[in-house]
A and B are shown apart, each in its own frame.
Chain A
Amino acid sequence: MSGQAGMLGVFDGVDALIVAIEKLRGAGLKRLVVYSPAPDHSIEHALHQGPSPVRLFTLVGGLTGAAAGFALPTWVSLDWPLVTGGKPIISLPAWVIIGFEMTVLIGALSTVLGLFVLARLPYRKPLVIYDPSFSTDRYGIHVAPPAERVAEARSILRDAGALEVRENVQEVARASA
């Protein structure tokens, strides 16, 4: 993008929001950031979002955990081979429990890591391109059109029923930072 100041449209209904998303996308303005108080499938459909790649983190983490869960007891048992209770040094049935718990532990933690990496959390900039009502019942669209299309984007947001359209939000962001 050209570093052009973006605009933030605020909506009070998901229906109007979706109309605006579709029109903006139809006009070729596809880089949108949509704010909503709750996850909503209709917004996802309007934005044509694919499934989140967080599942890769889950899979890799889970497999790593399983491998670690079998490797750790095997290694420490071979490190000092001591027969207890007449059981084999590598007692796989007992390792299954460690393997399972480690699968869950590492898999879950790496899923959370995936969430933070992919959703770019924690978000540390000041919350300016934002409105506190987005966590209650308002929706928002942030769009940063090139200079010659600012008027067009503004009218799309207005026509779709935006309560207000805040312009130059990035300028404001910089000023208050």
Chain B
Amino acid sequence: MATVIRSETHPGIESYGNVNRDVLRLLEKPGRGYFTLLGVVLAVLAAAVFAFGSMVVLGIGLTGLTSPVGWGVFITTFVFWVGIAHSGTLISAVLYLFRARWRQSIYRAAEAMTVFAVLTAGLFPIIHLGRPWVFYYLLPLPNQRQLWPNFRGPLLWDVFAIGTYLTVSATFFLVGMIPDVAAARDATTVKWRKQLYTLLSFGWRGTNDEWRHFTRAYLYLAAFATPLVLSVHSVVSWDFAVSIVPGWHTTIFAPYFVAGAIFSGLAMVVTIVIPIRKIFRLEAYFTPRHFDAMSKLILVTGMIVFFAYGSEYFIAWYSVETPERAAFWNRAFGDYWWATWIMLTCNGIIPMMLWSKKVRTNIAALFTITIFINIGMWFERYVIIITSLAREYEPWQWRSYMPSWVEMTILAGSFAWFLMWFLLFLRILPAVSVAELKEVLPPPLRLRRGTKTGAQEA
């Protein structure tokens, strides 16, 4: 018996067969715990639907929104979820182009998170509308007087950016999954699964021609997704930066938002992957090396975000603009001081622990830190939006805002909506890429002599 060659990045996976066995095991009939969790999630979602329904029937007076704070928890949550989406594309596309050899096991879950987060985010501008049933006013269509929407306004840019992002990330997700769905199709014996996988695999057989076009198409999709991920949160940031509101009107917003988005998204990937790894015993697939690499990315983007916070305060002081200075003073010491300090603590100070390798490879510590980051990043958007609107230029207009129960229920509902999709995904579609993992594993050989075929090094 010759020695078994192990992969450098995934030493715990012995063979191609193991990958199919371990990954497709997730597609077996789920247990009681799963259905309980799904039930809780659906109950929260039902509460949010009720809250939204009340708002539609009784009007947006049910929210805490009033002049001057017209953007509240809904827009905060919109920006939060768009941000969460970004790291999925980072892991699936950007790290693909950089040939990061550890991304294979983690990217499918991250990509699913992207699609579901954009699905969640996309609801919020519509929920936020006073008359959600005329949401099609957002689309580039002329009204009854043949007047078109204003293409010079950032809100229309947003429609294009988010629309493109949802379409492209969903396409990337579904196309990238074709070979894995084919593997699931070949393995399953359940009738509805067989039908579903036959449909979604498009009759994939893994022929040389199919692979040839598939790998190329995948490369170009990744090349498109990479600048897209940078553009989407830039456009979202211009919703704010293009206005003249103190605290919003800054050129640093685009890179600052993009870094923040990736920071929060990576944290969310870690938060989600840790329980999956534990529950489904996928330790061989998500190794300490993965968490170490993810933590380093979190640390880098977190430092950029922290630097941007500092830069904002510095520029506010350096500009000698009274409203700008007042806005930032108000953030730190005004009515919303608590939100600002939650943001600074969770995003700036707590992630500093990741400098230590011990923390980076300690799963429990990492899980806790990433939850703090998620909280901090939601508060970041809350601080940016609400403190700026509550204290604009004219003091007689100043008024503070507190979210109502409707807004908080819908916020909770957004997590339920996201988790519902994720839970369904976990048990219906392959949550770890089968084919791409095999690309970084040594291929099966007839004559095991321990020599390299060149296949895995090419």
* Chain B associates with chain A: yes
Q: Does B445 contact A (CB under 8 A)?
A: yes
Q: Does A164 contact B (CB under 8 A)?
A: no
Q: Does B15 contact A (CB under 8 A)?
A: yes
Q: Which of A22-30, A100-108, A144-152, A167-175 contacts B (4 or more CB under 8 A)?
A: A100-108
B209 pairs with A33, CB closer than 8 A: yes
Contact with B along A98-141 (1 / 0, CB 8 A): 10111011011101101110111111110100101111110000
- CB < 8 Å neighbour of B203 from A35, A112, A121: A121
B151 pairs with A137, CB closer than 8 A: no
A84 pairs with B150, CB closer than 8 A: yes
- CB < 8 Å neighbour of A101 from B146, B161, B225, B439: B161
A109 pairs with B447, CB closer than 8 A: no
A14 pairs with B453, CB closer than 8 A: yes
- Of the candidates A44, A55, A98, A132, the one having the most CB atoms from chain B within 10 angstroms of its own CB is A98
A101 cross-chain contacts in B, Cβ below 8 A = 157, 160-161, 163-164, 228, 231, 235
CB distance from B146 to the nearest CB of A (A): 6
Contact with B along A36-52 (1 / 0, CB 8 A): 11111111100101011
CB contact under 8 A between A58 and B151, given known A14-B453, A104-B168, A122-B202: no
A16 pairs with B224, CB closer than 8 A: no
A134 pairs with B151, CB closer than 8 A: no
Can you name the residue of chain A whose Cβ is closest to the Cβ of B242? A94
B178 cross-chain contacts in A, Cβ below 8 A = 121
A105 cross-chain contacts in B, Cβ below 8 A = 163-164, 167-168
B205 cross-chain contacts in A, Cβ below 8 A = 35, 123, 127, 130, 134
Interface of B is mostly: helix
A54 cross-chain contacts in B, Cβ below 8 A = 213, 216-217, 220
A111 cross-chain contacts in B, Cβ below 8 A = 217, 220-221, 224
CB distance from A96 to the nearest CB of B (A): 10
Within 8 A of A (CB), among B115-130: none
CB distance from A177 to the nearest CB of B (A): 14
Q: Does B397 contact A (CB under 8 A)?
A: no
CB distance from B197 to the nearest CB of A (A): 11
CB distance from B141 to the nearest CB of A (A): 10
Q: Does A159 contact B (CB under 8 A)?
A: no
CA distance in complex: A34, B227 (Å): 35
Q: Which of B105-113, B182-190, B343-351, B359-367 contacts A (4 or more CB under 8 A)?
A: B182-190
A137 pairs with B206, CB closer than 8 A: no
CB contact under 8 A between A135 and B213, given known A12-B446, A14-B443: no
Q: Does B2 contact A (CB under 8 A)?
A: no
- CB < 8 Å neighbour of B444 from A13, A32, A55: A13
CB distance from A173 to the nearest CB of B (A): 13
- CB < 8 Å neighbour of A52 from B20, B213, B434: B213
B210 pairs with A119, CB closer than 8 A: yes
CA distance in complex: A58, B168 (Å): 13
- CB < 8 Å neighbour of B221 from A13, A102, A112, A118: A112
CB contact under 8 A between A38 and B435, given known A47-B208, A104-B227: yes
CA distance in complex: A135, B220 (Å): 24
Q: Does A97 contact B (CB under 8 A)?
A: yes
CA distance in complex: A13, B151 (Å): 57
B17 pairs with A136, CB closer than 8 A: yes
CB contact under 8 A between A97 and B160, given known A14-B453, A49-B208: yes
CB distance from B344 to the nearest CB of A (A): 32
Size bin of chain A's contact surface: 35 or more
Can you name the residue of chain A whose Cβ is closest to the Cβ of B448? A13
A39 pairs with B215, CB closer than 8 A: yes
Can you name the residue of chain B whose Cβ is closest to the Cβ of A98? B160
CB distance from B21 to the nearest CB of A (A): 9
Q: Does B142 contact A (CB under 8 A)?
A: yes
B147 pairs with A115, CB closer than 8 A: no
Q: Does B140 contact A (CB under 8 A)?
A: yes
Q: Does A91 contact B (CB under 8 A)?
A: yes
Within 8 A of A (CB), among B143-191: 146-153, 157, 160-161, 163-164, 167-168, 171-172, 175, 178-179, 182-183, 185-187
CA distance in complex: A121, B179 (Å): 12
Q: Does B204 contact A (CB under 8 A)?
A: yes
- CB < 8 Å neighbour of B455 from A34, A40, A55, A120: A40
CA distance in complex: A119, B221 (Å): 16
A133 cross-chain contacts in B, Cβ below 8 A = 186
Q: Does B212 contact A (CB under 8 A)?
A: yes
Can you name the residue of chain A whose Cβ is closest to the Cβ of B162? A101
CB distance from B358 to the nearest CB of A (A): 36
CB distance from A30 to the nearest CB of B (A): 12
A91 cross-chain contacts in B, Cβ below 8 A = 151-152
CA distance in complex: A33, B185 (Å): 21
Can you name the residue of chain A whose Cβ is closest to the Cβ of B145? A80
Q: Does B3 contact A (CB under 8 A)?
A: no
CA distance in complex: A133, B205 (Å): 11
A119 pairs with B220, CB closer than 8 A: no
B152 pairs with A84, CB closer than 8 A: yes
B224 pairs with A108, CB closer than 8 A: yes
B160 cross-chain contacts in A, Cβ below 8 A = 97-98, 101-102
CB distance from A55 to the nearest CB of B (A): 7
Can you name the residue of chain B whose Cβ is closest to the Cβ of A142? B207
Of all A-B residue pairs in the complex, the 7 with the closest CB atoms, nearest first, are: A13-B446, A123-B203, A132-B186, A137-B16, A38-B438, A122-B202, A73-B151
What are 26 inter-chain pairs, A to B, with CB distance below 8 A?
A: A14-B453, A36-B208, A37-B438, A40-B443, A41-B454, A43-B208, A51-B216, A77-B151, A98-B151, A100-B227, A101-B164, A104-B225, A108-B220, A111-B220, A112-B171, A114-B213, A118-B209, A120-B209, A121-B178, A123-B202, A127-B203, A130-B205, A132-B186, A135-B179, A135-B182, A136-B16
